[in-house]
Amino acid sequence: MSTPDSADRSRTGTGPRPRPVQIFQASTLYGAATLAAALDAGQFGPAAQARRVLLLTNNAAVPEVAPRLSDMTGFQEIAARFDQVEDWNEAIAPHHPAGWQPRPDDAPLWERVLRTRWALGTGAVTLVVESIQVSPARSLAAVFAGAAVHVYADGLMSYGPTRDEPPHSVAVRVQRLLHLDLVPGLRPLLLSEFGVEPELVPHDAFRAVLSELSLAAAGDPEPARAAEAAPTALLLGQYLAALDILTAEEEEHLHVRMLRAAAAAGHRSVAFKPHPTAPDRYSEALQREAATAGVRLTTLGGTLLAEVFYARLPLELVVGCFSTAMLTAAAYYGIPTARVGTRTVLHQLTPYENSNRVPLVIVDHVVPDLEAGATPQRPEAPPTLQPLLQAVGYCMQSARYPWLRTGAEQLLARVTADPGADRDGAHAAYFGTERLTELDLPGGRKRRAPLVRQVLSRGRRETASRH
């Protein structure tokens, strides 16, 4: 960890102006790579203009046993772009970063403590954070109450609505939303209710950072071991059981379905990239299925990003449920993708406002279904996707996006008027009768007029009194 030079320390009198500070919060290597690409593209100005601090956060339920970002291959290459690296978990210990927020009266004290601890001096602070609506980003914004805020997104959730509204005092400080062009041409909905404009992280800049991570893994034995098996398909695990989206048994079966579908498509050597914290039993179940199907299975260990394997294996197919890495494979490596179990998870997802709904809808809408025999391909966003996501976003957060109602009504009215327009039940899966009824939208159950409801209610009461 580097130490600020004397020019960065607080001054009194008529000395040089304090140097501005940019704090970049990251909880994943993929997110840190997104930040590195934005820096390389000049989206935060010249390096000499401000002191740059990479702030690591570990939001796992039990951070002490989760893989550390700083231990991952390629981290040092990314960290070299920053003047210093700090750890948020250590700074606020024993509090958990996902649950802790400073009391309003304590926020100024915390700012003084952190400025001293990290030797930031008295310069103006700019925050670059993930998920501003929740901690730790929300806590950072509360501590540095005068800081301009930039939000960056490293996944598909940015195309959906804001899950939890940030305090107005924070929302008005958000300058922009930086995001990757994972679905070319698609515009994020996140934070749009506050007038926040999205800004693309250049494709070439992110691809260059991914190449850098791949080069950093040149001495890692895991890609070399995997390459010996020459897998032509890679299966992506997400550990959805940890998010209570599926049970462990359901997720285990989902991976088995992926393997069966890949085998049915003709792939005889398949790799499986489990989530780093997923249980070993997932790999064991796949090994048994692979033996039955006559498929050679290679389980990829370690904490390397899936993108490292995209660059180093002769892949013809990437299979997943709704992982962001599916879209990365297509957008940055040109590898055809296919989905398995996406509709199953979509039907089970609760509550309707769950932010995973938007990634599921995107993947279901643009990625071919491998189990249905569809040909894997590089997904492209059809013209129908933007209005579809706006309609889904309205149904998820209707009070926050009232201006999207008209578009939602028009889209749903067209589907309702044409029984053949929803042959595969996609719109039924995307919206659900209960939610459409609740919002009084086309496709919901017809509600009785108030007078009819009153008469029926009075009749039921009279009948009950006679008995």
pLDDT digits (tens, 9 = 90+) for 189-233: 999 999 999 999 999 999 999 999 999 999 899 999 999 999 999
CATH topology of domain 19-207: Rossmann fold (3.40.50)
CB-based contacts of 44: which residues, under 8 Å, 6+ apart?
22, 38, 50, 52, 126, 128, 150
Residue 15, pLDDT score: 63
Find the radius of gyration of the CA atoms of the chain: 25
Average pLDDT of the residues in 164-176: 93
Amino acid at 3: T
Q: Which single residue is written with the structure tokens 């393997």?
A: 259
Amino acid at 301: G
Banded model confidence at residue 148, pLDDT cuts 50, 70, 90? very high
Banded model confidence at residue 3, pLDDT cuts 50, 70, 90? very low
Which tokens belong to 57?
């956060």
Q: Where are the domains of the chain?
A: 19-207, 221-366, 385-438
Average pLDDT of the residues in 421-442: 90
343 with 362: CB under 8 angstroms? no
Q: How far is CA 432 from each of CA 133, 284, 342, 413, rounded to the nearest angstrom?
A: 26, 36, 16, 14
Taking alpha carbons only, the member of 170, 176, 117 closest to residue 140 is 170
Residue 462, pLDDT score: 54
Phi, psi (5° rounding) for residue 179? -150, 160
Residue 381, pLDDT score: 84
Amino acid at 422: D
Alpha carbons 129 and 124: distance in angstroms, whole number: 16
Residue 424, pLDDT score: 81
Strand 148-153 with 125-129, pairing:
parallel
Residue 36 has pLDDT above 90, yes or no: yes
Residue ranges with strand state E in 93-189: 125-129, 148-153, 174-179
Classify domain 221-366 by CATH architecture.
3-Layer(aba) Sandwich (3.40)
Alpha carbons 55 and 50: distance in angstroms, whole number: 15
182 with 324: CB under 8 angstroms? yes
Which tokens belong to 387?
């209005």
The pTM of the full predicted model, rounded to 2 decimals, is 0.90
DSSP state of 369: B
Question: Three-state DSSP class for 185?
Answer: coil
End-to-end CA distance of the chain: 80
Alpha carbons 118 and 397: distance in angstroms, whole number: 39
Alpha carbons 323 and 295: distance in angstroms, whole number: 23
The neighbour count for residue 30, using CB atoms within 10 Å, is 19
Alpha carbons 141 and 173: distance in angstroms, whole number: 9
Residue 460, pLDDT score: 45
393 with 401: CB under 8 angstroms? yes
Alpha carbons 391 and 408: distance in angstroms, whole number: 4
109-113, 211-215, 456-460, range with the lowest pLDDT? 456-460
Residue 245, pLDDT score: 94
113 with 144: CB under 8 angstroms? no
Residue 63, pLDDT score: 85
Q: What sign results for the dihedral spanned by CA atoms 298, 299, 300, 302?
A: negative
Amino acid at 290: A
Render 370-414 in DSSP notation, one character per residue. Answer: TTTTPPPB-----TTHHHHHHHHHHHHSTTT-GGGHHHHHHHHHH
Banded model confidence at residue 461, pLDDT cuts 50, 70, 90? low
CB-based contacts of 463: which residues, under 8 Å, 6+ apart?
none
226-235, 238-247, 262-271, 353-362, range with the lowest pLDDT? 238-247
